[in-house]
Chains A and B, each alone.
Chain A
Amino acid sequence: AQSVAQPEDQVNVAEGNPLTVKCTYSVSGNPYLFWYVQYPNRGLQFLLKYITGDNLVKGSYGFEAEFNKSQTSFHLKKPSALVSDSALYFCAVRVDGNNRLAFGKGNQVVVIP
């Protein structure tokens, strides 16, 4: 079954430092991978996706993600974190052709001023 894992519960980073949120995947076939962000009491906001092509995917709000097939990873990155990046981040994988998504448990990111 298609699935993703987010091994860390919380990521703490100082403002201005690089931010990395980890995600590994388990799929049969080519993976379609996504990152979403959720602010308190809000829905999910789409950040970026990997379908095919370049392994480095650029998304919204300065985020990017690196697809690594050999390590089955799709880590989310931002070169310089902002306090406003503090939120819950979800990695997701497409399960089927109807774009049904399977989500990880989420990572709480805390950016410390």
Chain B
Amino acid sequence: DAGVTQSPTHLIKTRGQQVTLRCSPKSGHDTVSWYQQALGQGPQFIFQYYEEEERQRGNFPDRFSGHQFPNYSSELNVNALLLGDSALYLCASGARTAGLYEQYFGPGTRLTVT
């Protein structure tokens, strides 16, 4: 059983560009959450998707947007990249029917903005 997968592993972008990160949840999971982990910090919640809708959002600007597909996979889009967007982006999946008590994280995408 594959766990949570994310692509790409690493990404280098220039300020002002746009980026799309992808996540496939663990089999049987229907909810995907995205977190940003800056260097030396704990992960910060960006938003959560369920039934192809954004259900909750953390304190992140509208430059951060997302999407969930019918197969539960998800994308995170960041527009007008800033240097401060450099971070490890983590995707977590869970099963809403199981109360989301256990969330499984993917390996992350390391984004570097130059």
Chain A residues touching B, range: 20 to 34
Which B residues contact A (CB, under 8 angstroms)?
4, 6, 31, 33, 35, 40-45, 48, 50, 55-56, 58, 90, 92, 94, 99-108, 110
Question: In terms of DSSP, what is the predominant structure of the interface of chain A?
Answer: loop
Chain B nearest CB from A38 CB (Å) reads: 9
- A45 x B105 contact (CB < 8 A): yes
- B100 x A98 contact (CB < 8 A): yes
- Chain A residues positioned under 8 Å from B33 (CB to CB): 99-100
Provided the pairs A43-B108, A44-B90, A49-B102 are in contact, do residues A106 and B45 lie with their beta carbons within 8 angstroms? Answer: no
Contact residue among A36, A51, A104 (Cβ-Cβ distance under 8 Å from B105): A36
- A97 nearest in chain B by CB position: B100
- Beyond A49-B102, A103-B43, 9 additional contacts (C-beta under 8 Å) are A32-B101, A42-B107, A43-B90, A46-B103, A90-B42, A98-B31, A98-B100, A100-B45, A105-B42
